[in-house]
Amino acid sequence: MILGHVHNSRCSWVKVLGREHGITTPASVDRRSVARRELLSALKRSSKGIESLLELGLANGGHVPPSRGYVWRNLPLDVPHVLTYFVAHEGHHRGQIVMVARQLGHRLPHRHLRRALALHEADEGDMNGERLALNRGEMESCMRRSLRLALMVVARRAFRLRSARRPTRSGPNRR
Answer whether residue 102 shows pLDDT above 60: yes
Higher pLDDT: 135 or 52? It is 52
Dump pLDDT digits (tens) for 30-69.
989 999 899 999 999 999 999 999 999 999 999 999 899 8
- C-alpha pair distances (Å), 106 with each of 94, 131, 172: 15, 13, 66
Indicate the length of the chain as a whole number: 175
Report the candidate in 23, 34, 26, 25 with the shortest Cα–Cα distance to residue 1.
34
Whole-model pTM above 0.75? no
Across 64-68, 76-80, 159-163, least confident range: 159-163
Answer whether residue 110 shows pLDDT above 60: no
Across 70-79, 95-104, 105-114, 120-129, least confident range: 120-129
The answer to whether the beta carbons of residues 69 and 19 sit under 8 Å apart is yes
Alpha-carbon radius of gyration of the chain: 20
The answer to whether the beta carbons of residues 49 and 10 sit under 8 Å apart is yes
CB 102: neighbour CB atoms within 10 A? Answer: 14
Q: Bridge-partner residues for 78, per DSSP? A: 63
Report the candidate in 40, 38, 36 with the shortest Cα–Cα distance to residue 122.
36
Region 66-90 average pLDDT: 88
Region 77-95 average pLDDT: 90
- Mean residue pLDDT of the chain comes to 75
Q: Bridge-partner residues for 121, per DSSP? A: 133
Compute, in degrees rounded to 10, the torsion defined by CA atoms 37, 119, 117, 154: -60
- How many whole angstroms separate alpha carbon 142 and alpha carbon 122? 18
pLDDT recorded at residue 167? 56
